[in-house]
Amino acid sequence: MLPDKMILNELIKRWGLDASNGGELIIGGCNSLDLGNIYGTPLHIVNEERLRATAESFLKTIKLKYPGAVSVHYAFKCNPVPGIIKIIKEQGLKAEVMSEYELMLALKLGYRGNDIIVNGPFKTDRLITACLENNIRFINVDSLFELEKIDCICNNLTRNAEVLLRINPDFVPSGMNKGSAAGSRSGSPFGLDLIGGEVMAALEKIKGMKRIRFRGFHFHIGSGIQNPDDYRKALSGLKKILNDAGNAGFKVDVLDIGGGLGVPNSREMTTLELLLYQAFDFLNSGGRTNRKIFFSHFADSVTKGILSLFGNQKIPELILEPGRCITGPNQMLLLKIHQVKDRKGLKKWLVADAGIGTLTMPTYYEHHEVILCNDIRRKAAEKVTITGPGCFSADVVYRNKVMPNIAAGEMIAILDSGAYFTSWESSFGFPRPAIVSVVDGRHNLLRERESFDHMISLDTF
Ligand SMILES: Cc1ncc(COP(=O)(O)O)c(C=O)c1O
């Protein structure tokens, strides 16, 4: 019997997934159950063809729409798996890193210093030194404290640094929690406080720093932005500082507007949803997403925003640092249901082999579709709480998720798990999973499943 046409069409259209005649979920031409049996569960499965296509399309679209120079730097933090970054690099994206480890990884993967941008609020002396020694393209300055530190290290090493100033524009994208919106003045510590005058203060300081070369501004307003027009709005908030910087004699050659674009089939819970979910277990089932997030809308919004700032003047080079929108939709996390616990008259738990304590941290605050891999035709039937293997009651995937009837031993997939799942991973008493990429019915191991020996390999006892 063929799988239900409507369900199958949705899977194909929204995720590029497929199903066997028996209704078993297929990804990249591979049967998901077979992959689970070969590599063990939990298992991260990367859809290589779609990942390549997404990265290529992002780069092409912005280059087509923006009338100036463009560089796209993949944000490593989003999914720092070397095998995944390698695929993205092959599509022409450069690197954005935020730690000594990520910088080392970028260099190891063959990025030249000039292809790397360094960000983050935790630039140690060693990281800054490594930036200078490797001729990193831009250090994005997070604070006045950091600016002085960079200047001091530059003088000690007699090296120069090219910098962008990270602005906190006090802009919260629509539908986003203030606490997780990185461009919020009260919700995030990142960047120089525009309203408080720190950006101009930094420019004044730079005037006296002979080894620091100002090249432009940077902001990153949050992650998971559902309305691409928010970029245009955030950019409009830079008008005054661009004028002020110009009047103070500074030329803005580069605008780095960070990452943050959301994905079509998953999104962060709103503040109200999060409150209702955490306080009362009320899960907004389905969690409407914006299926119309297109790179072309994003590119139009950014281009419009920058053109309206620069008018007839030469427009700056545009730098973008996407993470989520590149990897997010192109990976799924396969879990096996270990046991089903039905407490009479109360609720049903599905105990899976991963939860927020180990691998699914983003399900704490994001909506993701979860599907049964054994038979996509089985209809949604009941609300269940999917828990992880940890011995604590907060280790859940979702509470009150509407699912079909599922039996012990069956497998489920959390979709759109390519952003911030592998970055958040922790072992919590269980080995970290393998990561495989699939393409045209072939599967390639990107990371081996952790062994018990790996887990204690750094310990002394
Ligand atoms: C400075 C910076 N750039 C880029 C990103 C990537 O964001 P996203 O994965 O939402 O595209 C982040 C994420 O936190 C960030 O902090």
3-state secondary structure 138-200: EEEECCHHHHHHHHHHHHHHCCCEEEEEEEECCCCCCCCCHHHCCCCCCCCCCCEECCCCHHH
Question: How many Å apart are CA 51 and CA 56, to the nearest integer?
Answer: 9
Residue nearest to atom 16 of ligand 1 (CA): 220
The number of the ligand 1 atom at minimal distance from the alpha carbon of 420 is 9
Residue type, 387: T
pLDDT band at 5; cut points 50, 70, 90: confident
The number of the ligand 1 atom at minimal distance from the alpha carbon of 325 is 11
Query: Would you say 226 and 291 are in contact if contact means Cβ atoms under 8 Å apart?
Result: no
CA of 324 to the centre of ligand 1 (A): 8
pLDDT band at 287; cut points 50, 70, 90: low
CA of 403 to the centre of ligand 1 (A): 32
Ligand 1 site residues (CB inside 6 A) read 75, 77-78, 96, 119, 182, 220, 223, 258-260, 321-325, 419
CA of 345 to the centre of ligand 1 (A): 44
**15, 105, 89, 76: which is closest to 323 by C-alpha?**
76
What angle (nearest 5°) sits at the alpha carbon of residue 343, between those of residues 338 and 347?
A: 90
* Mean pLDDT of the 43-50 span: 98
The number of the ligand 1 atom at minimal distance from the alpha carbon of 224 is 10
**68, 75, 118: which is closest to 98 by C-alpha?**
118
**148, 237, 255, 147: which is closest to 184 by C-alpha?**
237
Residue 21 three-state SS: coil
* Mean pLDDT of the 317-338 span: 98
Let me know if the fold of 5-48+330-455 is the same as that of 119-322. Answer: no
Choice from 77, 166, 217, 421 to test ligand 1 binding pocket (greatest atom count within 8 A of CB): 77
CA of 120 to the centre of ligand 1 (A): 10
CA of 255 to the centre of ligand 1 (A): 15
pLDDT band at 286; cut points 50, 70, 90: low
Query: Taking the CA of residue 116 as centre, how many other CA atoms within 13 Å lie in the half-sphere pointing to its CB?
Result: 27
The number of the ligand 1 atom at minimal distance from the alpha carbon of 322 is 11
pLDDT band at 4; cut points 50, 70, 90: low
The number of the ligand 1 atom at minimal distance from the alpha carbon of 326 is 11
pLDDT in tens, 48-106: 999 999 999 999 999 999 999 999 999 999 999 999 999 999 999 999 999 999 999 99
Average pLDDT across the chain, whole number: 95
Residue 425: pLDDT over 60 = yes
Phi, psi of 361 (to 5 degrees): -45, -45
Each domain of the chain, given as residue ranges in start order, spans 5-48+330-455, 119-322
CATH class of this structure's domain 119-322: alpha beta
Residue 270: pLDDT over 90 = no
For residue 6, with 0-12 CB atoms within 10 Å meaning exposed, 13-18 middle and 19 or more buried, which class applies?
A: exposed
- Low-confidence winner among 153-167, 212-226, 270-284, 346-360 (lowest mean pLDDT): 270-284
CA of 452 to the centre of ligand 1 (A): 33
Q: Which CATH architecture group holds 5-48+330-455?
A: Beta Barrel (2.40)
CA of 107 to the centre of ligand 1 (A): 20
Residues constituting the chain: 461
> Can you say whether residue 316 is alpha, beta or left, with left for phi > 0 and alpha for psi between -120 and 50 degrees?
beta
Say what the alpha-carbon torsion angle 196, 199, 200, 203 is, to the nearest 10 degrees. Answer: 150
Query: Would you say 295 and 58 are in contact if contact means Cβ atoms under 8 Å apart?
Result: yes
User: Is this structure's pTM higher than 0.85?
Assistant: yes
Q: Which sign does the torsion angle of CA 106, 40, 368, 4 carry?
A: positive
Residue type, 364: Y
The number of the ligand 1 atom at minimal distance from the alpha carbon of 140 is 1
* Mean pLDDT of the 272-283 span: 93
Q: What percent of the chain has pLDDT over 90?
A: 91
CA of 411 to the centre of ligand 1 (A): 31
pLDDT in tens, 157-191: 999 999 999 999 999 998 887 767 899 998 899 99
* Mean pLDDT of the 437-445 span: 98
Q: How far is the CA of 279 from the CAs of 343, 350, 429, in angstroms?
A: 21, 21, 28
Structure tokens at 133: 């020694």
Residue 390: pLDDT over 70 = yes
**328, 299, 321, 291: which is closest to 422 by C-alpha?**
328
Choice from 188, 220, 330, 366 to test ligand 1 binding pocket (greatest atom count within 8 A of CB): 220
Residue 193: beta bridge partners?
Answer: 168
Choice from 62, 166, 188, 321 to test ligand 1 binding pocket (greatest atom count within 8 A of CB): 321
Q: How far is the CA of 110 from the CAs of 90, 116, 145, 300, in angstroms?
A: 11, 11, 31, 32
CA of 97 to the centre of ligand 1 (A): 10
Residue nearest to atom 12 of ligand 1 (CA): 259
What is the model's pLDDT at position 2? 43
Residue 349: Cβ within 10 Å count:
19
What is the model's pLDDT at position 259? 98
